[in-house]
């Protein structure tokens, strides 16, 4: 659907939800897929994500009162808060609305002038809980729409930090910066090589010769909040503090493989050892993968993707039978350059690089094998790399 068609559709959704569509503007923020660098962003390591062309639309306008009303076309649910920060709180029963409310609360807290109420209607075309960052997409589109409606200055890096803060503090999910940054800073046909320790970044053109990125959605749902995500994060923090007894270092991402091998004997607990090993090796793999892509060595890039999955499966233990099946079956197919889980894991999606001529067979064969083994179907998407937030 073109932007013009989407805009008309959003205005219609808004009108149905709020009675009329006077003064409405329509905004968009993408989802993201991470090519490599998983569970490194809260360890001061590197990530390599890109924005998608699917994401979240928000039709919005300022209102004359101090109420902020939200409506989701996906969930057919409404929520209302006021612009008084002191009474905005996280409530489980608010469901998805906790994401926009959290962003508004965080903006208010930071002193951004949200001087009136707003009506916002959301519609997203990212499959929910798929590991493609539907929640960060809602956060960023909320911040972007609010900035545009009230006309304050907030650059995209600050916006991503603010949305992460909202997810950490309001929604109590201890996520890193990757998702919000990839979404706010997305660039068409480029992936973002981001050092999460310094927020220095470079755009790298994703040139895959005759191949394309294919996402396979396992349809196994995961909820970041209930998942083992926060547990993994605290295991890494414990491992880091033990390493700090013998080496001056501020994050696992600072360690080279050689340095890690020298100090790892302080990690006597096997689980902590494997978690830290993943964080260190995955960071180095990401650095190597980006230089492989830059020098046109797609084969090496694919091998590093495969190694990333193995490490996430064996050392970080965040895959599960659904994601492992998708990757194992992918690797059996002709024309597959690399395949791995993407996002937090525990369900969600895999990302594969597949030669164009083999994509049809890939989808058919992997889909069939998955259905046979898991008992329900996977969904496949051929990826186009999109840009960051914009006004339609
Ligand atoms: C989720 C989090 C990110 C990142 C990934 C794993 O998507 O939101 O910050 O930690 O998991 O790489």
Q: Is 349 in the pocket of ligand 1 (CB under 6 A)?
A: no
Rounded to whole angstroms, the Cα distance separating 316 from 320 reads 11
CA atoms within 13 A on the CB side of 338: 23
Q: Is 42 in the pocket of ligand 1 (CB under 6 A)?
A: yes
pLDDT in tens, 262-302: 999 999 999 999 999 999 999 999 999 999 999 999 999 99
Geometric angle at alpha carbon 319, from 316 and 322, rounded to 5°:
170
Ligand 1 probe mutation, 176, 252, 350, most atoms within 8 A of CB: 176
Rounded to whole angstroms, the Cα distance separating 112 from 307 reads 44
Q: From the CA of 342, how far away is ligand 1's center (Å)?
A: 9
H-assigned helices in 168-251 = 178-184, 229-243
| pLDDT, averaged across the chain | 95
Q: So what's the pLDDT on residue 225? A: 45
Catalytic option among 179, 270, 314, 315: 179
Q: How far is CA 53 from the centre of its chain?
A: 13
Rounded to whole angstroms, the Cα distance separating 135 from 128 reads 8
Rounded to whole angstroms, the Cα distance separating 46 from 286 reads 6
Q: 272 near 252, Cβ under 8 Å? A: no
Above 70 in pLDDT, residue 62? yes
* Residue 297, helix vs strand vs coil: coil
Q: In terms of C-beta density within 10 A (0-12 exposed, 13-18 middle, 19 or more buried), how is residue 2 classed?
A: exposed
Q: 302 near 213, Cβ under 8 Å? A: no
pLDDT > 70: percent of the chain? 98
Please, which pLDDT band fits residue 112 given cuts at 50, 70 and 90?
Answer: very high
- Closest-CA residue, ligand 1 atom 2, reads 175
Closest atom of ligand 1 to 133 CA is 7
Q: Is 132 in the pocket of ligand 1 (CB under 6 A)?
A: no
Work out the average pLDDT over 252-265: 98
Token duo for residue 306: 């495969």
Above 60 in pLDDT, residue 226? no
Closest atom of ligand 1 to 178 CA is 9
**Range 168-195 burial, b when 16+ CB lie within 10 A, else e:** bebbebbbbbbbbbbbbbbbeebbbbbb
Residue in this structure with the two tokens 């997203």, named with its chain if needed = 124
Q: From the CA of 269, how far away is ligand 1's center (Å)?
A: 24
Q: From the CA of 139, how far away is ligand 1's center (Å)?
A: 15
Q: Is 252 in the pocket of ligand 1 (CB under 6 A)?
A: no
Work out the average pLDDT over 139-159: 98
Q: So what's the pLDDT on residue 86? A: 85
Q: 322 near 338, Cβ under 8 Å? A: no
Token duo for residue 218: 């396992």
- Closest-CA residue, ligand 1 atom 9, reads 176
Rounded to whole angstroms, the Cα distance separating 216 from 53 reads 16
Q: Is 347 in the pocket of ligand 1 (CB under 6 A)?
A: no
Neighbours of 306 (CB within 10 A): 18
Q: 82 near 117, Cβ under 8 Å? A: yes
pLDDT in tens, 184-221: 999 999 999 999 999 999 999 998 889 999 999 999 86
Query: In the annotation, is 179 catalytic?
Result: yes
Closest atom of ligand 1 to 40 CA is 12
Q: From the CA of 1, how far away is ligand 1's center (Å)?
A: 29
Q: From the CA of 179, how far away is ligand 1's center (Å)?
A: 7
Q: So what's the pLDDT on residue 227? A: 73
Closest atom of ligand 1 to 229 CA is 11
Work out the average pLDDT over 88-108: 95
Q: Is 41 in the pocket of ligand 1 (CB under 6 A)?
A: yes
Closest atom of ligand 1 to 344 CA is 11
């Amino acid at each position: 659907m073109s932007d013009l068609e989407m805009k008309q559709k959003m205005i219609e959704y808004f009108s149905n939800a709020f009675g009329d569509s006077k003064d409405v503007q329509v905004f968009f923020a993408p989802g993201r897929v991470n090519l490599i660098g998983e569970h490194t962003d809260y360890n001061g390591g590197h990530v390599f994500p890109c924005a998608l062309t699917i994401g979240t639309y928000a039709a919005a306008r300022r209102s004359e009162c101090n109420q902020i009303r939200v409506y989701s076309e996906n969930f057919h649910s409404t929520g209302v808060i006021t612009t008084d920060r002191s009474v905005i709180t996280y409530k489980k029963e608010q469901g998805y609305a906790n994401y926009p409310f959290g962003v508004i609360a965080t903006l208010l807290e930071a002193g951004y002038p949200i001087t009136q109420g707003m009506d916002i209607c959301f519609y997203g075309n990212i499959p929910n809980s798929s590991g493609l960052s539907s929640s960060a997409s809602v956060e960023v589109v909320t911040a972007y729409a609010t900035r545009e409606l009230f006309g304050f200055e907030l650059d995209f890096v600050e916006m991503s930090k603010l949305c992460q803060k909202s997810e950490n503090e309001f929604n109590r999910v201890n996520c890193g910066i990757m998702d919000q940054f990839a979404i706010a800073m997305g660039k068409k046909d480029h992936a973002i090589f981001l050092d999460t320790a310094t927020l220095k970044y470079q755009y790298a053109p994703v040139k895959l010769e005759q191949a394309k990125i294919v996402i396979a959605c396992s349809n196994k749902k995961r909820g970041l909040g209930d998942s083992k995500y926060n547990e993994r994060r605290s295991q890494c923090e414990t491992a880091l503090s033990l390493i700090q007894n013998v080496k001056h270092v501020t994050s696992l991402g600072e360690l080279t493989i050689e340095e890690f091998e020298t100090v790892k004997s302080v990690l006597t607990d096997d689980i902590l050892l494997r978690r830290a090993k993943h964080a260190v090796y995955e960071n180095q793999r990401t650095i190597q993968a980006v230089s492989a892509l830059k020098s046109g060595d797609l084969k090496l890039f694919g091998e590093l993707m495969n190694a990333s999955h193995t490490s996430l499966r064996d050392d970080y233990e965040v895959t599960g039978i659904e994601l492992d099946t998708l990757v194992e079956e992918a690797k059996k197919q002709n024309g597959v350059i690399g395949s791995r889980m993407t996002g937090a894991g525990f369900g969600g999606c895999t990302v594969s690089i597949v030669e164009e001529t083999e994509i049809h067979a890939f989808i058919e064969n992997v889909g069939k094998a998955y259905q046979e083994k898991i008992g329900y179907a996977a969904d496949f998407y051929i990826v186009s790399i999109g840009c960051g937030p914009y006004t339609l």
